[in-house]
Chains A and B, each alone.
Chain A
Amino acid sequence: MKNNTESHDESAHGTHITSNKEHYSTLAALLLLTVLTVSISVFGANLRSLTVATAMLIATVKVIVVAYYFMHLKFEKKIYTWLVLLVIVLFLSFLILTSIEYLNR
């Protein structure tokens, strides 16, 4: 009984094979971004108040890369991308609302 909708979804979902090249490229990108984060922090690029924002920006790019390639979001149906975006919107809302409170205190 349960298999009907499931098998339907599976067929729509399809299978995919990710090449080694893609995996290693992703890994290289992540390592590069990590080196960049550490470099900015250790070697003290003079970013002042933008230091944290820069680190957050790089981390965000890394999250997107991991979700898109390593967690296979690239191969999923669009609805899953929308769900991930929904979670990001929620998270940003928490940050923004809390920041409104903190900055106006």
Chain B
Amino acid sequence: MAATTELNFFQVKKGLFSWIFSVDHKRVGLLYLYSIMAFFLVGVILGVLMRLELLNPGKDLMEAKTYNQVFTMHGVIMIFLFIIPSIPAVFGNFFLPIMLGTDDVAFPKLNLLSWWIYVVGALMALSTLLFGDGPADTGWTFYAPYSVRTGTNVTMSVLAAFVLGFANILTGLNFIVTIHRLRTPGMTFFKMPLFAWALYATSWIQLLATPIIGITLLMIVAERVLGVGLFDPSIGGDPILYQHLFWIYSHPAVYIMALPAFGIISELLPTFTHRTIFGYKAIAFSSLAIAFVGYFVWGHHMFTTGMSGAARIVFSIMTFLVAIPTAIKVFNWVATLYKGSIDVQPPLLYALGFIFQFMIGGLSGLVLGALASDVHLHDTYFVVGHFHYVMFGGTGFAFFGALHYWYPKIWGRMYNKTIANIAFVIFFIGFNTLYFPMLISGLMGMPRRYYDYLPEFHLPNMISTYGSWILATGLVLMLGNLIAGFFGPKPEIGRNYWGGITLEWQTLSPPPLQNFDKMPEIPKGGPYDFENNY
């Protein structure tokens, strides 16, 4: 334990190099935050451009090929540069060691290396804008054989995704070792906050599944560069094999994106209901169950590829099994709210928004997991609506909820809560106006990834585009409010702004370099024992 220090981690060292070469987990977390937010905004701009193009049938803004490239870049940026790293790399890095009562992650240098790898991978992805035929036009899934044949910069794009995978693996490895080896005395597994449990389950997926996508993407490169017949049927390959390999990773990756968000919600609800979380162990084990079962359901992305009927039935049944641990979480969250002393603050609004939208996303997922209905809805806007409800309405809202929750702890400052509430309402309305019509147009049969559409799909598309403007307004207001908090008067934040009882609320705001100025005390009744701590 380091000696008590007056300096917080911002004040210990100054200057650009003290940040980009820092091995302090808090600084690495913030480096990730700033980089991820920058790429997120690029992704948002691309998304708004897509919606503008789809405002009316026919050409509005760009050519068909450009549209294909825009939705591919939007997908690549949002998946690989925003959602996958978002919560673990930012809030996991910053808060996991503090929540466990230790002073850093197990491998601080690897942690910094992971950020550098992330930056290199991101620059590789963006470099596709600058040479040749421009960015890939394949969609973020890089489906073969088109990805083998197109003249756009697929090779660089998949190499970028390959490199970004290493950043994920290093983060996962770091978290697993940190959780196993660096918990403070008395912090048993069942006294860990549920955010730590969620990160633990996520890390195993990052560690075990990411290498599969790495090898698969290298196989695409081998096929493009060397003409090896792996996936292209014209040279003896099997395109369905590509989809197997791709989704063996990419479906578990959905849980890399979702599980940390579940962890965030499990932190927010007890703090703002002032009561012990309902079903702590059930939530903890359901994270592991989701991570495990999630490995065996990838085939539901491939029901219409021509794969065998037997496999389709097996994968459909397996998919329904994932709904069980997920529903366990949702029921426990709702039970936590029941008879709680609810304090409506901006982070709680995001948590409630998460539950509402994730329910829509999850239940529409069951429609797609059912073999019979998926055959009709596959590759329609219903799928686009579904995964935006899960990924953005779920993980995105949890990310912003976490940002509002830990803002006073990270920066020792506070945003305007009234504006935060207004921004949330606009954001929430914009989100649902944008994505709910997609579920309807999908049910009507509108195919995804099409540049143009029939007149009968005009109304839902028009409403979606208006929704994108409302969403963007809410986002600008929310981020503007958070940024304004840095420059406004500095209020007295104290150690425990929201009244939480996990360990990060026992230290200073912002925390000192060694995280704690005094030995943290572990609540005897577990991390959410509000009954005995208030």
Contact = CB atoms under 8 A, between A and B. Distances in A.
Contacts of A103: 308
A103 B299 CA distance: 15
A90 to B, nearest CB: 6
Given A1-B101, A90-B208, A100 B308 contact: yes
Contacts of B248: 94
Given A1-B184, A4-B185, A101-B299, A87 B208 contact: yes
Contacts of B241: 98
Select the residue from A6, A9, A97 with max chain B CB neighbours within 10 A. A97
B204 to A, nearest CB: 9
B250 to A, nearest CB: 13
Interface string B260-284: 0000000000000000000000000
A71 B244 CA distance: 31
Interface stretch (B140-148, B309-317, B342-350): B309-317
A91 to B, nearest CB: 9
Given A87-B208, A90-B295, A1 B102 contact: yes
Select the residue from B185, B308, B311, B519 with max chain A CB neighbours within 10 A. B311
A87 B205 CA distance: 11
A4 B1 CA distance: 11
Contacts of A1: 1, 101-103, 184, 516, 519
Given A2-B102, A87-B208, A105-B306, A97 B181 contact: no
Given A90-B295, A97-B296, A5 B307 contact: no
Given A1-B103, A105-B307, A9 B181 contact: yes
A93 B185 contact: no
Contacts of B329: none
Contact of A100 (B208, B311, B516): B311
Nearest to B97: A2
B31 interface: no
A104 B184 CA distance: 52
Select the residue from A2, A4, A98 with max chain B CB neighbours within 10 A. A2
Contacts, number: 60
Interface string B217-254: 00000000000000000000000110010001000000
Nearest to B102: A2
Contacts of B306: 105
Select the residue from A94, A101, A103, A104 with max chain B CB neighbours within 10 A. A101
B51 interface: no
Given A5-B183, A9-B181, A101 B311 contact: yes
B90 to A, nearest CB: 22
A26 B182 CA distance: 34
Interface string B488-527: 0000000000000000000000000000100100000000
B8 to A, nearest CB: 18
A103 B309 CA distance: 11
Interface in A51-105: 87, 90, 93-94, 97-98, 100-105
Nearest to B104: A2
B311 A104 contact: yes
Contact of B182 (A5, A87, A101): A5
Interface in B177-200: 180-185
A90 B248 CA distance: 11
Given A94-B248, A100-B314, A6 B299 contact: no
A100 B299 CA distance: 11
Given A4-B185, A97-B299, A105 B519 contact: no
A98 B238 CA distance: 13
Contacts of A100: 308, 310-311, 314
Nearest to B212: A94
Contacts of B183: 5
A2 B180 CA distance: 11
28 contacts: A1-B1, A1-B101, A1-B102, A1-B184, A1-B516, A1-B519, A2-B104, A2-B181, A4-B184, A9-B181, A87-B208, A93-B296, A94-B295, A97-B296, A97-B311, A97-B315, A98-B241, A98-B244, A100-B311, A100-B314, A101-B240, A101-B244, A101-B307, A101-B311, A102-B308, A104-B309, A104-B310, A105-B240
Interface of B: 1, 101-104, 180-185, 208, 212, 240-241, 244, 248, 295-296, 299, 306-311, 314-315, 516, 519
Given A2-B102, A98-B241, 7 more contacts: A1-B184, A5-B183, A94-B212, A94-B248, A97-B299, A101-B310, A104-B308
